[in-house]
Structure 1
Amino acid sequence: MKITAFLLSICFCTSMFAQNFSFGKVSKEELEEKFNPLDSSANATYLYKYRRTYMEYRQEEGFSLVTEIQERIKIYSQEGFDYATKEISLHKQNNDEEEVNSLKGYTYNLVNGKEEETKLEKEGIFNTEKSKYINETKFTMPNIKEGSVIEYKYKIVSPFYWNVDDFEFQHDIPVKNVEALFEVPEYFNFKPVSKGFIPMNPIHEAKRGVIRFTGKERGQMSQTEFYSSELIYTNNTTKFMLSNIPALKDEPYVNNIENYRSAIKYELSYTNFPDSPLKYFSTTWEDVVKTIYDSSNFGKELDADRYYNDDIDALIATVSEPIKKVALIYNHVKSKIKWNGYYGKFTDEGVKRAYLINEGNVAEINLMLTSMLRYAGLSANPVLVSTRQNGIPLFPTIDGYNYVISAIELPEGTMLLDATSNYGEPNILPLRTLNWEGRIIRKDKSSSTINLYPKDISKNSSTMLVNLSGSGNLDGNVRTIKTSYQAMKYREDYIGTDKDNFLEKLENRYSGMEISDFEVKNDTDVSKPVMESFKFTLESQADIIGDKMYFSPLFFLKTKESPFKLEKREFPVDFGYPLNNRYMVTVNLPEGYKVESIPEPFALGLPDNLGSYKYNIIERGSTIQLIVEAEINQPVISSLYYDALKAYFSKIIELEGGQIVLTKV
C-alpha cells in the first residue's frame, strides 16, 4: 500500500510539472476539453491557481505585504460565464490602502482549430469605493464563449502586513492544480489555522533573505559620504501543492459554507525585531482579551458615561427592579441610536459621537448599551462575537471576532442583548450573531466562552378552516401566530416592504392562490407574537376520478421535498434555533361525498430527543380534522445524525403524501 501511494504521488508530481503553467502558455488540450473528467456537472474549473504572499521591505516605509496571483479557468457552459468576472476587495484604513498593480489578462478560444487570444483592456477594469473600509477592483474577461480558457494575473501591495488574506484551496467549482507559497521573515511569527476536509501537507523551507540599507551622511571636511549595509535574515517559507480538489457545494441549513471551505488562515502571533522586545498579539486568549480591552476604541469607551448619565438618571429614577431597568435602557438605545450597517468590535467615531448624531456601528451601539447597564448597577459585560459570515474562531484570535454584543449576568441566568436589531428582544439576537460561542470579557479582563444559541423554542402555529367543493376547489381562512425567532424573521420580511409585493409573494408561494382580508397584528410590538390572518381561494386541490375524490389533507402546507439530498454530509445541520411548527386543519367535505379511507395517525422521532413529528387525523361526519406538530429541539445537529435526519424527512414526505379518498354517496 505504501509503495502504491508513493508511486501515485510521483505520477501526480510528474504530471503536474509536465504541464506548462507559465502565464500565456495555454495548451490546445485545455481548449479542447469539453467537461471536467472528475466532475462532469461542473460548469467551470480552475485549471491552475498560483499564489505567492511575501514580505517586502522598503527603507522609508518598512514592511509591506505583497501577494501575487495567477489563475487559469476553463469555462464549459454559459452557467460558467460568471467566473469570467473577478472582484478584488482592497482594505483601507485612515490614509493607508491596498492597491492592485501589474494586472494582465487574456481570453483564449479555439477558432477553426487555431488558438485565438483576446486581451483584457483597461476599459474592462473598474475601480470603485464599496465603503469607507473597502475599495474594489473589478474586471470581466472579454470574448467569453463556451469552451473559453481565461487567464489573469495581478499583484496586491498592502501596508497592513499583519492582515494576511486566507489561502483558499477549495471553491464552488473544481480545482485541478494549486501552488501556493507563504514567505515571512524570521521577525514575524504567524499562527496557521486550517479548516475544511482536504489534507494540506505543507512543505516547510528556510531560505536566506537580505535587506539592504543605503544613505548618506556628512563626513570629514563637510563632504557628503554615501554608505550601504546589509541585514541577513532567515525567510521561512511554507509551500502547498494540491491537485484535484472537489467543488464545495452549499447545502441547506449550513450556517456559513465558508466555515468548511478548505483553507489556511494566518494570524500574527508575535513579532521579534532585532534590538526590540517580543510583542505578542494573539498567542493566548489572555493576550487576545488584553489587546482588545486595552484599545482606546473598546475599554475606554465602556468607562465613558458623562454624555448620557443625565438621560439614564431620568429614565430609571423610579425603577428598582433589574429587569425593568434592562428593558428601559435597552429600548432607549434601540430607539435613539440607528445602526449604520457596519460591523466591528471597535468603535469608529466613538460612543459619545454616536449618541450625539443618533447613529453608530455595532461596537458603538452595544458598548454604549453595556456602559449604560453598568451605570444602572447591573452586572453587564461585552461579548465578542464572530458573525456567521465571518466564520468560527477555534483558536486564540483577534481578527476572528468582528462583532460585539452585551450580556447581563442575573440570578435567573445570563441575558444577551443586541441593540442594533429593531426587532430583537432580550435573548433574541439577530440570526447573523448565532454562531456557536462568543467570548464574554469582564472588568478584570478575564474571559470565558458563552453559548450564543437560544434554548427556548420558537413557535409557528397555523389554524386553517377550509371548504372543499365538489369540483376540488378550496376556500377558507388561515390564522398564524409566530413567536421568538420566527416572529423576528417575519417582521424583517414584512415591515418596511411594499405590502402589495409582500402579498404577491405570498400568493406566488402557493401557486394560484387568491388572498383577501389580509391582516397583520403586533407587527411593530416585539413584546407580543405576530399574528397574520387572511381568506383565500385555491383551485384544483383534489383529483376527481369517476365517483371518487383524492386529496392530501395538508393541501398546500405539506412538505414537498426533503432539504437533505446528499448521500453523505460532513457539515453540521444548523437550524439556527429550536423550533416548533403546528398546523391544525379543519376540512368541510363537499356535499354528496363520504369518506372511504383516511391516512393512519403516525409519529416519528429523531435519536436522542433531537426532534419529533406527530400526525393525527380524525373523521367527524362531514368534517375532517388534522393536527400536525413538528419539532426540532436543538439548534445545531451533528453530521453524525445526518442519515437519521435524512430518513426522518423522507418519511415525513412519504406520509404527508397520504391521501383521503372520498366517494359519492
Structure 2
Amino acid sequence: MKKIALLVLIHITACYFAQRKSTKTGRATLAELNMKSYEKDSTARALVLYEHANLYMETKKYDFQTDFYFRKKIFTKEGTDVATVKVITYGKERIKDILAVTYNLRENGSVEKTYLQKKDIFKNQLNEKYTETSFTLPNVKEGSVIEYVYSLISPYPSLDDLYFQSDIPKLQSDYDSAIIGNYKYNARIIGNPRLTKDNPSVLKKCIYIEGIGQAACAVRSFSMTDIPAFKEEDYMLSKKNYISRVAFDYVSYTDLRGGVRHYLNDWAAADKSLKNDFLKNQSNKKNFFKKRLPESVLQISNPLEKAKAIYSYIQENYTWNGKKRSSKNNKMRAVFEEKSGSVYDINLVLYNSLQAAEIESYIAMVSTRNNGLPTKLYPIIADFNYLIV
C-alpha cells in the first residue's frame, strides 16, 4: 500500500452525493439463517451474502471516507474464521464507527442477536507506518449470520485496489464512489470473473465549494454477482495476477487555478522520480564511498575482479536487517557506518561502491513472484517491491 499525501486548499461546505452509510445492519433473514450450504459450491465453509463499499469526500477535513458493509453466512466450524476481521491502515488513516452483530436461530424459531462490544476492538501498531484494527464477532457458530460495518477515513487520494474475489464465494459485491473532478484516476479491471456492472458517469452539482460554486464529481459504480471462491493452484504466480479486482491508478490533481500535478508519467519521468523521491537521492554517493572503500579493492586493475571484490566485501561486512525497504530517513552514510540495512540499503551500498570504482552499473526495480506482475500500460512505482543492481 503506497500512499501520497496531498494538501487540498479548498473549502467544501456540502457534499450532496454518496454521504450516506452503506447498507445498514439488521438485514439478516430467516432464509439466510436456515441455509445449510451454498448450492453453487457445496464445499464452501462460509459465504458472503452481500458486501458494499461507498467512497466519497467527507466535509470536516475533506478526507476520503469509505463506508463498508458485510453480511456473511457461516456453514462449518472452519468457517468461523471469517468472523475475525483485520483492517490495516497506513499513516494518518483511521477506522471509525465499527458496528457488528451475530445472528443465530434459536430452537423455538426466534432470532438471537449478539452485538460486538467496544472493549473487544483492538489496535496493534505493526510498525512505524501501519496499524492493524481487529475484532472477532461474538457467539459465532455453524449456521450463524454475521453483519459488520465500519468507515475508513484517509487523507490520501491514492485508492487501494478493490477485491471482488476472496477465498470464499460471494453472492453480490457492490462498490460506489463519487470523487470531485479535480482528482483523476484510471481504473484497471483485472482477472476473472468479470464485472456485471461498470457504470461511469458525471454528477453535476455534487459538491459546493465556497467562493467557487458547484463542482461535479466523477461517479463509478461497480458490481459483481455469483462470485466463485478464488483457489490458488500449485506453481502459480502471485494470486494478484489472477484474482478479480479493480486497480485504481492516481493520474493527476488539478488545483482551483488550473495547475496540474501529475502522478502518473511516462517511463523516463518515472525513472527520475524514482531516483529523486523514492530513493531519496541516495544513489549518488560516489565520492563518499570512494574515500572509504579499502584501497586494496580500488587498486585492482581488472574490472570483473574488482567488481567481485566489492561484492565480496559488502557480503562479508554487511548484515540484512530483515526488511526489504528502508525507512524514509535512512541515509547511505549511516548504513555504511552501521554495516546493516534493508535490501534497498545494502544494494544501494553495492551500487554506490561500484560507481566509486568506475564500474558500469545500474539500479533496477523489480517485482518479486509473490508481489505480482507490474502493469505495462504505464509506470506504477508501487508495483515494484525489490531493488537489485
Under TM normalisation by the shorter chain, which class is it? 0.7 to 0.9
> CA offsets, 1:536-590, max 9 Å, x none?
xxxxxxxxxxxxxxxxxxxxxxxxxxxxxxxxxxxxxxxxxxxxxxxxxxxxxxx
The reply to whether residue 263 of structure 1 matches residue 245 of structure 2 is yes
- 2:307 aligned with 1:322, yes or no? no
Paired letter, 1:305:
K
Q: What TM-score, normalized to structure 2?
A: 0.88
Distance 1:392 1:57, change over 3 A: farther
Q: Spell out the pairing of 1:635-654 with structure 2 (5 A cutoff).
A: none
CA distance in 1, matches of 2:23, 2:208: 31
- Relative to structure 1, the CA distance from residue 133 to residue 342 in structure 2 (aligned partners, 3 Å threshold; closer, same or farther) is farther
**Contact in 1 for aligned 2:326/2:341 (Cα 8 Å):** no
> Does 2:323 match 1:342?
yes
Deviations 1:160-208 (Å, cap 9, x if unpaired)? 222x111000111101011101322111111112211121241112113
Q: 1:350 to 1:243 in 2, by over 3 A?
A: same
> In structure 2, what is the Cα distance between the partners aligned to 1:150 and 1:67?
20
Among 395, 398, 412, the residue aligned to 2:381: 398
Which AA in structure 2 matches 1:210?
I
1:289 is aligned to: 271
| Structure 1 residue 306 displacement after superposition | 4.3
Partner of 1:119: 115
Q: 1:335 to 1:313 in 2, by over 3 A?
A: closer
Match for residue 172 of structure 1?
167
Displacement after TM superposition at 1:299 (Å): 6.2
Deviations 1:478-502 (A, max 9, x none): xxxxxxxxxxxxxxxxxxxxxxxxx
Contact preservation (8 Å) 2:209, 2:215: no
User: Which amino acid is the alignment partner of residue 366 of structure 1?
Assistant: N
Matches of residues 9-408 of structure 1 in structure 2 within 5 Å? Answer: 22-58=24-60, 63-92=62-91, 97-112=92-107, 113-162=109-158, 164-200=159-195, 201-207=197-203, 208-213=205-210, 229=211, 231-295=213-277, 297-298=278-279, 300-344=281-325, 348-394=329-375, 395-396=377-378, 397-406=380-389
| Equivalent pair of 2:289/2:352 in contact (CA under 8 Å) | no
Deviation string 1:613-639 (CA, Å, 9 cap, x unpaired) is: xxxxxxxxxxxxxxxxxxxxxxxxxxx
Confirm or deny: 8 A CA contact 2:23 2:52 kept in the other structure.
no
CA distance in 2 between partners of 1:325 and 1:81 (Å)? 59
Q: Structure 1, residues 98-138: CA drift from partner, whole Å, max 9, x if none?
A: 11000000011011211111001122211001111211001
Bigger Cα displacement from structure 2, 251-260 vs 135-144: 251-260
Which one-letter code corresponds to 1:246 in the other structure? Answer: P
Post-superposition offset of 1:263? 0.3
Specify the SS of the correspondent of 2:333: helix
What residue number does 1:12 align with? none
CA distance in 2, matches of 1:173, 1:382: 41
Normalising by the residue count of structure 1, what TM-score does the alignment of the two structures yield?
0.52
CA distance in 2, matches of 1:275, 1:85: 47
* Distance verdict in 2 for CA 1:282–1:346, change over 3 Å: farther
TM-aligned CA deviation for residue 26 of structure 1: 0.6
Q: Which runs of 5+ in 1 are unaligned?
A: 1-19, 214-228, 407-665
The answer (yes or no) to whether the contact 1:44–1:80 under 8 Å persists in 2 is: yes
8 A Cα contact 2:198 2:220, kept in partner: yes
* Aligned partners of 1:282 and 1:398 also within 8 Å: no
2:283 is paired with a residue of what secondary structure?
helix
Which structure has the greater CA radius of gyration? 1
Q: Which letter maps to 2:318?
A: I
Does the CA contact (< 8 Å) of 2:161 and 2:246 recur in 1? yes
**Shift in alpha-carbon separation, 1:230–1:275, aligned structure 2, 3 A:** closer
Q: CA deviation at 1:291?
A: 2.0
SS at match of 1:302: coil
**Equivalent residue letter for 2:134:** K
Query: Does the 8 Å contact 2:23/2:69 carry over to 1?
Result: no
Distance in 2, matches of 1:38 and 1:32, equals 17
- Contact 2:85–2:136 (Cα < 8 Å) also in 1: yes
Q: Deviations over 1:385-440 (max 9, x none)?
A: 1223332211321221222111xxxxxxxxxxxxxxxxxxxxxxxxxxxxxxxxxx
SS of equivalent residue, structure 2 residue 268: helix
Tell me the SS of whatever aligns to 1:369: helix
| Structure-2 separation of matches of 1:100 and 1:299 | 31
1:659 is aligned to none
In structure 1, distance between residues paired with 2:321 and 2:213: 47
Change in 2 beyond 3 A, CA 1:182/1:345: farther
Q: 1:662 is matched with which residue?
A: none
Greater length-normalized contact order (CA 8 Å, ≥ 6 residues apart):
2
- The letter of the residue matching 1:322 is P
Q: Aligned residue for 1:17?
A: none
More moved, 181-190 vs 359-368: 359-368
**1:344-364 residue CA offsets vs partner (Å, 9 max, x unmatched):** 388541222222222222222
Aligned residue pairs, count: 363
Counterpart CA distance in 2 for 1:292 and 1:196 is 28
Separation in 2, partners of 1:401, 1:52: 29
More strand by share: 1
Where 1:399 maps in the other structure, the secondary structure is helix
**Partner Cα separation in structure 1 for residue 214 and residue 324 of structure 2:** 42
Residue 16 of structure 2 corresponds to none
Per-residue Cα deviation, 1:505-558 (whole angstroms, up to 9, x for no partner):
xxxxxxxxxxxxxxxxxxxxxxxxxxxxxxxxxxxxxxxxxxxxxxxxxxxxxx
Report deviation, 1:90: 0.7
Residue 99 of structure 1 aligns with an amino acid whose one-letter code is: R
Question: How far did residue 282 of structure 1 move?
Answer: 1.3
Supply the distance in 2 between the matched residues of 1:359 and 1:367 (Cα, whole angstroms): 12
Over 3 Å counting, the alpha-carbon distance change for 1:183 and 1:366 in structure 2 is farther
Q: Distance in 1 between matches of 2:259 and 2:84?
A: 46
Contact preservation (8 Å) 2:157, 2:250: no
Q: Which amino acid aligns with 1:40?
A: S
Q: Deviations over 1:292-342 (max 9, x none)?
A: 2232x5262111234432332524134122222222222222333322233
Deviation at 1:156, TM superposition (A): 0.8
Aligned to 1:90, what secondary structure does the other structure show?
A: strand
CA distance change for structure 1 residues 83 and 315 in 2, over 3 Å: closer, same or farther? Answer: farther
Supply the AA of the counterpart residue of 1:343.
K
1:178–1:242 CA contact under 8 A, matched in 2: yes
Aligned partners of 2:24 and 2:93: how far apart in 1?
Answer: 26
